[in-house]
Amino acid sequence: MARIGADIVVLDVTGDAYTCLAGGAEHLQLLADGRLRLMQTAVLNDLEEAGWVSPCPTLPQRRRFQAPVRSRIPAPSGFGLELLPVSVQVLAATTWMRDRPLADILAAARRLRPNRQPSEGDAAVIDRTIAAFETVRPWLPRQGLCLQRAFSLLNCLTRRGIPVDWVFGVRTWPFAAHCWLQHEDTVLADDLDRILGYTPILIV
């Protein structure tokens, strides 16, 4: 869930759909830990009937969003050492995610994430991987879609031990959704100015 001005935007991961509650901020307050505070109790029944809220004794820890301040977009590498393994991994990710529901793709991304903190040595690995990724990407199907592009790159980076966040963002009037990868406060293989136009709704 995300608040944008007076509106609340809901991402239904199971249903793979976004819903905008125009003026919803008058009735709902989105807390930092992911809980909702209802400004009017009469709204609760409507939300439960829609399947958007349910009682939950404990909440999973909500990942804190780190606002990006820079981007890394290395130029395509040409025929380097990373080209073949990256090509295989991108093709494997593209084939695997075809026609799979969003919930399955997000679950796979969580399993892939290395259990370690970012380090100074990550930058060189990131640059080499993205450079190879940008070389092979134009030749693969559906790589113009941000979901496909982000998951394919995430698959390559995490298999090299790089912990990245997969951020989903939204904007309204007109509505648009986008997703991208971040390594701490750095956007990977995407334009920073474009990203800043979106409000994060989910971080994987």
Residue 192 has pLDDT above 80, yes or no: yes
pLDDT in tens, 132-183: 999 998 887 766 689 999 999 999 999 999 999 999 999 999 999 999 999 9
The two tokens of residue 10 are: 């809901």
163 in Cβ contact with 114 (< 8 Å): yes
pLDDT in tens, 21-80: 888 888 777 777 667 777 666 777 777 777 766 666 565 666 778 899 999 998 887 777
pLDDT in tens, 105-134: 999 999 999 988 888 889 999 999 999 999
* The model scores a pTM over 0.85: yes
The per-residue pLDDT for 195 is 95
In three state form, how does the secondary structure of the chain look? CEEECCEEEEEECCCCEEEEECCHHHCEEECCCCCEEECCCCHHHHHHHHCCCCCCCCCCCCCCCCCCCEEECCCCCCCCCCHHHHHHHHHHHHHHHCCCCHHHHHHHHHHHCCCCCCCCCHHHHHHHHHHHHHHHHHHCCCCCCHHHHHHHHHHHHHCCCCCCEEEEEEECCCCEEEEEEEECCEEECCCHHHHCCCEEEEEC
168's CB contacts (< 8 A; 6+ apart) are 11, 177, 178, 179, 200, 201, 202, 203, 204
